[in-house]
Every structure is written in C-alpha cells, then in structure tokens.
Chain A
Amino acid sequence: MDTESVRLLATALAIGIGVIAPALATGNIGSRAMEALGRNPEAEGQIRTTMILAIAFAESIAIYALVIALIIKFV
C-alpha cells in the first residue's frame, strides 16, 4: 500500500472507531432525559437545556476524533 491509501484508511478508522463511544453516550443521555421528563414533565425547559449541554460534551469527544481524522486527511 502506498502512503495515500494508508492515509485514507487511517482517516476512516480514526473517525469510525472514535465515534462509537460518543454515539452510545448520546443515546444514553437522550434516554435518561426522556425518563426524567416522564417523571416530572413540568421541568421540561431545564431538562432540555441540561440535555443539550450534556450531548454537546459527549459530542466533543467525537469532535476530537474528527479533528484527528481531518489532520490525517489534510495535513
């Protein structure tokens, strides 16, 4: 394999493996937010804000992987 194909493979692997954990985390956060919403629906606004923030934190892990993938691809 030449450098270019190894680079493409590395990019795909970096982002592919890197998003597994954040995907599980985001799903978990969503389901837990639904549970909390079912228990006390009057706290909807607060739950939504906290959920979006927590999802953003989980997503940032995926973004690290994405940055690595972009660096491999474009640098």
Chain B
Amino acid sequence: MGQPHISIKAEPVLSFGQFQITNSLLTSFIVLILFFFLARYYYNQMQLKKRSLFFYGLHAFFEEIYNMFVSLLHDKIAVFFPLLGAFFFFILFNNWSGLVPGVGSVLVKPYHFGSPSMTTSVIAQDGMHDNSMTDEKMMNEEQTMDESTQMTDEHDTMQAESEAENMHADTMEEESGHHELVPFLRGGTADLNSTLALALISVLFTQYFGFKYLGAKDHIKKYINLKDPMMYFLGPLEILQEIAHVISFSFRLFGNIFAGEVLLTILPFLLPVFLVFIASPMFFLEIFVGLIQALVFTMLTGVFIGNAIAKHH
C-alpha cells in the first residue's frame, strides 16, 4: 500500500468544454496570476516616495539578474531584457511551485470524458479502494492511449492500438486502487509540454531576432551558403543544432524539476516515519536547483540571441 504516486506526464483534472486541463497547466495559471499581482505590486511601489522593505529585496534580486544579462548582451539589453526577464521569472516561479506544501499531496479523482462530476477533492489517504472505479479507469486509460497514438504519427495505428491493449492488460494487474487518484496540482515545469513550449518560444525568438537584426539574406546565409565550400557542409549542421537546442532546452528543464519531485516523493518512503524530517534539507537543494535551472535557461537563450544578432565576418 505504501507505493507513492509517480506519473511522468501531467494528468487531466478538470475540463473546460472539450479542453482538458492538466494539473501542471492549472499550477501554471495560478503561478501566472500570482506573478501578475507581484508585478503590479512592484510597479505600484515604484511610484511611491516611501517604499516597503519587500520592494527593496525584490529590487536587489531583480538588479542582480539584470546586471548578469548586461555582461551578456551589452547595449542591446533594453531590447531583450523584457523577454529574458519574463522567461526567468516564469520558469523560476514554476520551478518553485512544485515545492509548495499541498502541491502534489492533495489528490483528486482523474477527469475523463463521458462521466461528469469527477472532481471531488479528497485529502491524500492510503486506502481509497473503490471497485466501481475500474470501468471508468479503463475508459480513461484507453482514451489516454488513443491520444498518445495520435501524437506518434510514425507508428502504425493498428499496431499501436493492439500494443495499448496489451499494456493496458498489464497495468491493470499491478495497479490496485491506489493509483486511481492523481495530484490536483503539480509543478508547472514538471511537464514536458510546458518546457517544450518554452524551448520553442526561445528558439523561434532567436530566429526572429536573427532575421530582424541581420536581415533575411545574411541570416539565411548562416544555414544555406552555396558559395563557401566549408559553409556548404556546416550549414545543415547549424540547422540540426537549432533542432537539438529545442530538445536540450526542454529535456534539461523537465528532467531537473521532475527528478527533484521524484526525489522528494521517494525519499520519505525510504525512511521510518519518525525520521522523515531528515528528508527536509532536500527542499533547499531543490530551491537551489530551481533557481539554477531558471538561470541556465535564460542565460543560454541570451547567449544564443547574442550569437544570432552578431555580425559574421
């Protein structure tokens, strides 16, 4: 019974018409709203003569980040800091959102189509056996399997479906009632979809700034250059590198944050109950990792943008 719930993908908990809202997306929205109010607070304090202590703390942090990017982008900083700062704070707060108590420990029944009123919230408990759930769960699993087959185009649909049925039969046996509940909230960047979206935004903006500052001709010349025999072979590698950037950006962020969550989930299960507090220093490690990963993501974006707008010889 003491098995922790670990899922590598975010699970749907609510729906908005046909649109399923996963727990990671929900956390991202909450973080976004909190961030909005923080930004409003910062702006309001800026207008005042006498400012609060919290403002100065925030301001010092903000200035530290700003100076870090000044050394990277020099005089173009005013153009790029809105993008990079937004990246930094969005990723930072999303990384830390998974560490807030209650995120990941409040469980609900998973949402799926065809059965209304599936969002009764329950506090985390071990024995939530319910046999009537199995039919609904089957539908849910088949549906998620279908989604995954739609996403992987290279797979033959028939084969994938039969595979899905086989896997389904396997997992049915292992999963006793415990796995029916999913966390209501989950760290925003602990979902590959959100990190992939961030990586795509980063790479596409790099391309956009390349076009804007170098001009279309000079920018494309970096990738396709028929005159220079050396560049003729290096050009395709540059294109490949841009694709690799998307993968490395998204996997680095997702891997770090998800691994941290798995660590924090697993660690208490390895200890006797009265020693669980030993796991608490790991929270500081995860706070540090969240900060570093937000910084790395933003720094790398800054470096790539700096490369893209630099004039080549």
Contacts and interface: CB of A to CB of B under 8 A. Distances in A.
Q: Do A and B come from one complex?
A: yes
Interface of A: 3, 49, 52-53, 56-57, 59-60, 63-64, 66-67, 70-71, 74-75
Nearest to B288: A52
B216 interface: no
A52 B296 CA distance: 9
Contact of B8 (A49, A56, A70): A70
B295 interface: yes
A5 to B, nearest CB: 14
Interface residues of B, number: 19
B258 interface: yes
Contact of B296 (A57, A66, A75): A57
Contact of A53 (B6, B248, B296): B296
Nearest to A4: B174
Contacts of A52: 292
A63 B251 contact: yes
A71 B8 contact: yes
B255 A64 contact: yes
B7 interface: yes
Given A52-B292, A74-B6, A63 B256 contact: yes
29 contacts: A3-B170, A53-B295, A53-B296, A53-B299, A56-B292, A56-B293, A56-B295, A60-B248, A60-B251, A60-B252, A60-B256, A60-B296, A63-B251, A63-B252, A63-B255, A63-B256, A63-B259, A64-B252, A64-B255, A67-B251, A67-B254, A67-B255, A67-B258, A70-B8, A70-B258, A70-B262, A74-B6, A74-B8, A75-B8
Nearest to B258: A70
Nearest to B292: A56
B7 A74 contact: yes
